Amino acid sequence: MSRQRLLDQCPRAYFFRYYAGWNGWLVQAPRRSRIAYRLSKLTGLDAVFGQEMDRRAREIEWAAREGRPLPGPKELEARTRATLNAVWVSSKDRSVFEESPKSTIMLRSVYMSEDAEPDISRVKNKISPCIEALLSLDHWDRLSMCWREGSVTIPDFAHFFLNGVKVFAAADLAYVHEGTLYVMDWKTGKESEDDDTQVLISTYSLRENDEVFRGLPVQATVHYLARGQSLRVQIPDDEQAQVEAVVEEGVLRMRRYLRDPEGNIPLDEEDFPQRETGLCRYCNFMLLCKAN
């Protein structure tokens, strides 16, 4: 879904992200490829914070499963703030990032020499509400009754194949309790119109990869932690047909930009329109666009 979303936002940014930077990690790669690859590795405080909330959820999950007291909000906040501070410090060393962008975290605002204060203030204001919302979810009560039974392993690069196309889809958490499969995503930012579709595809991925889940009723939810609200996602009877329609539409749009679909060879850069919107100032590839 993230790949389709980027293509919809700006085909030129999509080109930079998935094609211009290919092999950009190699020392002998063309300079522009190395720059595109480096820019693709930039991140934001919001993204880092989202990753930290995933880690806090895992810590809470395993405490619940093992029958231990759940970690308190102060403990969770302290770990989250420590990581955010460490990322801020590491972003100060531009040379280390440029030498090894894959293994070094670099904040976009720092790299672009922008005012980072709005990002810092926004994320700081989300830490306590998100952790409180995370701790208040009823999943932990059910998991404490499950112990380690009903555990669902979600690989880092969870995927399934649909008509020969590899589709990446991973829920943030899934488990089975009293014969029901629970699937959920956490969101620390704003609501997107395709959030429910993302969870639908993640649920389909779980059931496609393990037939044990196919006959189980599903309770799928998106949790918007910053505002303490949740969205129940209905799994339709024609789940497979809906997933196929979404995936095939996205694949068709992406293939329109390929000269050789079998070899994944893209059209020329000029054939990927540059779509100027209010999102341009947040784009990782703004430097390449300006250079053009």
Task: Provide the CATH number for the domain around residue 191.
Answer: 3.40.1350
Asked whether the beta carbons of 104 and 97 are under 8 A apart, the reply is: yes
> What are the structure tokens assigned to 114, written together?
């922008």
Tokens (6 digits) for 67: 């029958």
Measured N-to-C along each axis, helices 195-209 and 239-255 cross at an angle, to the nearest 10 degrees, of: 110
For residue 212, what are the contacts with CB-CB under 8 A and spacing of at least 6? none
Question: Which pLDDT belongs to residue 292?
Answer: 62
| CA 292/CA 279 separation, integer angstroms | 18
For residue 163, the enclosing domain spans 150-235
- What is the tens place of the pLDDT at every residue in 89-144? 989 999 999 999 988 999 999 999 999 999 999 999 999 999 999 999 999 999 99
21 domain-assigned: no
Q: Is the pLDDT of residue 17 over 80?
A: yes
pLDDT band for position 77 (50/70/90)? very high
What crossing angle do the helices spanning 45-65 and 73-90 adopt, rounded to 10°?
140
Can you tell me the distance from the alpha carbon of 206 to that of 249, in angstroms, rounded to the nearest whole number? 21
Q: Is residue 179 part of a domain?
A: yes
| Nearest 10 degrees: Cα torsion 93, 94, 96, 97 | 120
Q: Is residue 226 a part of any domain in this protein?
A: yes
- Residue 137 resides in a domain: no
255 domain-assigned = no
Return the DSSP state at 19.
Answer: I
Q: Is the pLDDT of residue 278 over 80?
A: no
208 is a domain residue? yes
Residue 156, pLDDT above cutoff 70: yes
pLDDT band of 53, cuts 50, 70, 90: very high
What are the start-end ranges of the H helices in 214-292? 239-255, 286-291
CB 26 within 8 A of CB 36: no
* 125 falls within a domain: no
Is 126 a domain residue? no
Does the pLDDT of residue 73 top 70, yes or no? yes
Q: How many domains does the chain have?
A: 1
Angle at 25 between CA 22 and CA 31, to 5 degrees: 80
